[in-house]
Amino acid sequence: MSSASPVTRAALRAKLLPSVAAPPVEWRVAPGLTAYTQAVAEMQALAEAIADGKANERVWLVEHAPLYTAGTSAKAADLLDARFPVHDTGRGGQFTYHGPGQRVAYVMLDLKRRRPDVRAYVAALEGWLIDALARLGVESDTREDRVGVWVERPDKPRGLDEARAEDKIAAIGVRLRRWATFHGVALNVAPDLTHFSGIVPCGIAEAHYGVTSLRDLGFSTTMSDVDAALREAFEARFGATSG
């Protein structure tokens, strides 16, 4: 008897609508740059309140000043040049960069109301980003052996094994407490891509796997355009928003 095939992330990419009547997810857009330590403190407090049934769910869109964050799997050797502040954080994943021109979406949801399944939640976040990028004219997808959302780059050299070149356009790192989520996703709109050279992003060092942005791909998309696409795609996958 053959063993069952492993479930792919794409197969898990279902909607995570609330299973019971619930208020709309609060949708907040922060002006200017948000201090990272402030964002973490607010996320943690809200996640605790959501887990206790004392607060509504929220998506919080921010930008940060240049910084690096180290996830729970980060390796010291992957911090190549600490030119910006480095923050240890409890989210999953390795090193990543945040900075102006990158849309960070912190997602605080109650998975008890939706589906208490971490893999399904991460797959839903990936699907949300893929759907939003499609609305902006960008074809993207995930890879079973790599985290994040990727785009093919036929204009770049292939790998030594003739593997096609691909660039990451969005990163994902999450944390849960009592099935309340926090941290979230980061989509590269028009950041300074040279800032990523201070780290090995997400531990992926192969030369034919890089980092890109909407601007790098030739799009003149504004942050407001991105926010509108994110909200529309979020509502289709996670339900109504307010604010």
Q: Which residues are catalytic?
A: 202
Cα–Cα distance, 198 to 187 (Å, whole number) = 18
- In eight-state DSSP terms, residue 90 is S
Q: Among 242, 239, 243, 222, which Cα is nearest to 114's?
A: 239
Asked whether the beta carbons of 94 and 76 are under 8 A apart, the reply is: no
Looking up tokens 């980092």 gives 211
Angle in degrees, 0-180, between the axes of helices 118-135 and 223-238, rounded to the nearest 10: 130
Asked whether the beta carbons of 138 and 219 are under 8 A apart, the reply is: yes
Where residue 83 falls (left for φ over 0; alpha for ψ -120 to 50; beta otherwise) is alpha
Q: Among 182, 183, 27, 41, which Cα is nearest to 98's?
A: 183
Cα–Cα distance, 61 to 66 (Å, whole number) = 16
Instruction: Let me know how long the chain is.
Output: 243
